[in-house]
């Protein structure tokens, strides 16, 4: 079969989303003809899999080959800068000097990276720009609130939530889905509406005990801000993806892959916990969140902790 631009680019995208970056690069190398989309898919694939510096190398090579980047390419480059440790400032400068007007997706990518690297100053500026572009997007406010919480600035975190309330902006509830035996099961944080809730919560308790023995420490900065201090650990342990994973552990055969879909970005605590669950229970866990695919296996994630 001839490796056309369309076929090759589709294969690259498939491999990158499955966490197989080297396979994506291999296909790229074999393509006799490459267009701007091919280069863009490669750059985005590397960036979304935690290989920011490598993505930038291909971007510069793209320019050397006189291939003109488009707006999607620039988003990939921004993601590459943002996901590489120490490159948040470079990403910010890149946005300000872009030949196109930065849109909400670009600023949101930077804001999410500020969450990972706990960069408050650039996070604040990102939200200012997002409020101009999309003033009622709840996730942007939540991200900045979480950045404040992660550095212990609880009053500022509550202030952002208060601003949301004043503007009538409601937080989108986190929802995780898991399909087993042809049936889709839906979970929300701390809910108990599932017909097997008692069994699921018992499984959660056992799961959390086992991963604590393996070194898990709850990140209570991810808890509900209105939760009492004594309840914060319980709050984070009952996030929707943890409920779905616990259900998958008790209802699927040992050793099989657990696949979860979530409507929001996976929080830091759930990300850390899921890595340990994959190791302790010897399960591969695939989570598709709002940002990307996460492939958890043997205690690590395909995103290399940049998402």
Residues 79-107: tens digit of each pLDDT: 777 666 567 888 888 888 888 888 898 89
Per-residue pLDDT, averaged over 277-303, amounts to 91
Residues 105 and 23 in one domain: yes
Per-residue pLDDT, averaged over 237-265, amounts to 95
Categorize the per-residue pLDDT at 51 as very low, low, confident or very high, splitting at 50, 70 and 90: confident
42 in a structural domain: yes
Q: What is the pLDDT of residues 216-245, one digit of tens each?
A: 999 877 666 666 666 778 888 999 999 999
Per-residue pLDDT, averaged over 61-90, amounts to 82
95 in a structural domain: yes
* Report field, pTM of the whole predicted structure over 0.75: no
Residues 180 and 114 in one domain: no
For residues 122 and 114, the answer to whether their CB atoms sit within 8 Å is yes
Mean pLDDT check: name the lowest of 147-161, 193-207, 217-231. Answer: 217-231
Domain with 275 in it = 175-301
For residues 188 and 240, the answer to whether their CB atoms sit within 8 Å is yes
Gyration radius of the chain over CA positions: 20
10/265: higher pLDDT: 10
- Quote the pLDDT of residue 63: 93
Residues 197 and 265 in one domain: yes
Residues 148 and 227 in one domain: no
Q: What is the pLDDT of residues 21-46, one digit of tens each?
A: 899 999 999 999 999 999 999 999 99
306 in a structural domain: no
Secondary structure of residue 259 in the 3-state scheme: strand
Residues 53 and 197 in one domain: no
- Quote the pLDDT of residue 280: 97
307 in a structural domain: no
Residues 274 and 212 in one domain: yes
Residues 205 and 277 in one domain: yes
Domain edge (last residue) among 121, 148, 167: 167
- Quote the pLDDT of residue 211: 97
pLDDT higher than threshold 90 for residue 205: yes
What's the number of CA atoms in the CB half-sphere (13 Å) around residue 143?
31
CA torsion angle 226 231 233 238 (round to 10): -80
Q: How many domains does the chain have?
A: 2
- Quote the pLDDT of residue 121: 95
The enclosing domain of 141 has a CATH number of 1.25.40.10
65 in a structural domain: yes
Task: Give the span between the Cα atoms of 82 and 116, in whole angstroms.
Answer: 9
What's the number of CA atoms in the CB half-sphere (13 Å) around residue 6?
1
Per-residue pLDDT, averaged over 108-131, amounts to 91
Structure tokens at 226: 């209105």
Residues 111 and 247 in one domain: no
Task: Give the span between the Cα atoms of 27 and 40, in whole angstroms.
Answer: 14
Angle of helix 197-213 versus helix 240-251 axis, rounded to 10: 100
Average pLDDT, whole number, for the chain? 90
Residues 179 and 283 in one domain: yes
Per-residue pLDDT, averaged over 4-15, amounts to 95
Give the DSSP per-residue string, 137-206.
-HHHHHHHHHHHHHTT-HHHHHHHHHHHHHHTPPPPPPEEEEEETTEEEEEETT---STTHHHHHHHHHH
72/179: higher pLDDT: 179
Task: Give the span between the Cα atoms of 126 and 144, in whole angstroms.
Answer: 9
Residues 84 and 181 in one domain: no
225 in a structural domain: yes
Per-residue pLDDT, averaged over 170-194, amounts to 92
Per-residue pLDDT, averaged over 38-66, amounts to 90
Residues 26 and 136 in one domain: yes
């Amino acid at each position: 079969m001839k490796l056309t631009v369309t076929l090759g680019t589709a294969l690259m995208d498939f491999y990158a989303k499955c966490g197989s970056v080297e396979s994506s690069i291999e296909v790229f190398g074999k393509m006799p003809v490459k267009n701007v989309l091919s280069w863009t898919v490669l750059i985005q694939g590397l960036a979304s899999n935690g290989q920011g510096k490598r993505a930038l190398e291909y971007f510069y090579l793209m320019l050397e080959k006189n291939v003109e980047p488009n707006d999607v390419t620039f988003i990939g480059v921004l993601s590459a800068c943002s996901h590489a440790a120490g490159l948040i400032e470079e990403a910010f400068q890149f946005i300000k000097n872009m030949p196109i007007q930065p849109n909400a997706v670009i600023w949101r990518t930077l804001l999410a990276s500020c969450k990972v690297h706990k960069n408050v100053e650039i996070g604040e500026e990102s939200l200012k720009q997002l409020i101009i572009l999309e003033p009622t997007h709840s996730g942007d406010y939540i991200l900045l609130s979480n950045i404040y919480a992660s550095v212990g600035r609880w009053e500022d975190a509550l202030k952002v939530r208060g601003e949301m309330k004043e503007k009538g902006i409601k937080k989108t509830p986190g929802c995780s889905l898991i399909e087993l035996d042809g049936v889709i099961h839906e979970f929300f944080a701390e809910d108990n509406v599932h017909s097997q809730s008692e069994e699921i919560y018992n499984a959660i308790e056992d799961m959390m005990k086992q991963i604590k023995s393996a070194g898990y420490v709850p990140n209570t900065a991810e808890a509900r801000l209105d939760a009492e201090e004594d309840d914060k650990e319980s709050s984070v342990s009952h996030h929707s993806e943890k409920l779905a994973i616990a259900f998958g552990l008790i209802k699927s055969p040992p050793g099989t892959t657990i696949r979860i879909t979530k409507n929001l970005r996976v929080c830091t605590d759930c990300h850390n916990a899921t890595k340990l669950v994959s190791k302790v229970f010897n399960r591969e866990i695939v989570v598709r969140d709002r940002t990307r695919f996460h492939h958890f296996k043997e205690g690590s994630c395909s995103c290399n902790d940049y998402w």
